[in-house]
Amino acid sequence: MNHKIIKIPFLVIISILIFFITKYYFSEKNIIFTNKSRSLFLTNIDNNNLLTLKSDTNNIIIYKNDIEDFKKKRKKRFWEKLISNND
């Protein structure tokens, strides 16, 4: 019984906090402020002054076919010799 009495105030406090947070988040004042800050941010960006870098990532991947080397180095097991047609 004691635990239930202790949990009730916590649940009430948490529910009140959630209510006020959602009320502020969806308020007209907050929506207007958010839209203003976004529009100011977009107007402050000047795309003409941005530097563009030349791409230097062409042909940087070297493709190797190491499967045959791996197969040669790997130790053959007894059951593989039974299954293979080559030996």
Per-residue pLDDT tens digits for 58-77 = 878 877 778 877 777 777 67
Please, are residues 32 and 40 in contact by the beta-carbon 8 Å criterion?
no
Q: CA 55, CA 72: separation in Å to the nearest integer?
A: 39
pLDDT of res. 73: 78
Please, are residues 23 and 15 in contact by the beta-carbon 8 Å criterion?
no
Over the stretch 29-42, which tens digit does the pLDDT of each residue have?
999 999 999 888 77
- Give, in order, the Cα–Cα distances in Å from 77 to each of 20, 62, 73, 84: 69, 32, 12, 11
